[in-house]
Amino acid sequence: MNKENKRPGRRRRGSGKGAHEQVSSVPTGRYAYAETRRWLLSQHGPICAYCGLEQDPATMTLDHVTPRRGLTAYDRRDNLVLCCKRCNTAKADKPFVAYLLAQRGRAPNLLRYGAHLSHGILDLVRHLAGGAADQHVTEAIALRMVYGPDDDDDSPYKESPYRETA
């Protein structure tokens, strides 16, 4: 667009006072990642939230506990933890419940180093880290979250025409 077609008196997008005004309570931009990483290092040190091992701070990565899959809401601080490259690679885009179920020792570590996480995540992690008394119920809930409802599902949406049938 040439200068003649521009409207007089209009400011360019992204310039001027308040151009980058924060509209959410938790910033989610690329600078927020660096800030969150520094904050987590100051809170817990360079310890992986999954395996619990101390790492070189320079090699620690931020992991989305609930994989983001392109959704910006998952970039919030209450969905991010510090972890080592090995755990981040192993978890990849797996649902965190499946990742924690594969090795039970991860849940207590995530509970210890993820106290800032959202209530929904923490509730599941508490169950997974809990005693053997509620292990069967916890596994059933976790499996349902990972693989979907079973044939005995008593959900009011079981007969929904919008539910996929395979």
Neighbouring C-alpha atoms within 13 Å toward the C-beta of 96:
25
Q: State mean pLDDT over 139-148.
A: 60
Is the model's pLDDT at 44 over the cut of 70? yes
Strand, coil or helix: 22: coil
Model pTM score:
0.61
Q: Report phi then psi at 82, rounded to 5.
A: -85, 135
Is the model's pLDDT at 25 over the cut of 80? no
CB atoms near residue 77 (< 10 Å): 20
Bigger pLDDT: 145 or 78? Answer: 78
Q: Rounded to an integer, what is the distance from CA 35 to the centroid of its chain? A: 16
Residue with tokens 């601080």: 77
Query: CA-to-CA distance for 98 and 102, rounded, in angstroms?
Result: 6
Q: Report phi then psi at 131, rounded to 5.
A: -75, 175
Q: State mean pLDDT over 107-120.
A: 88
Is the model's pLDDT at 78 over the cut of 60? yes
Is the model's pLDDT at 114 over the cut of 60? yes
pLDDT for the residue 152: 55
Beta strands in 32-148, from DSSP E residues, in sequence order: 61-64, 80-83
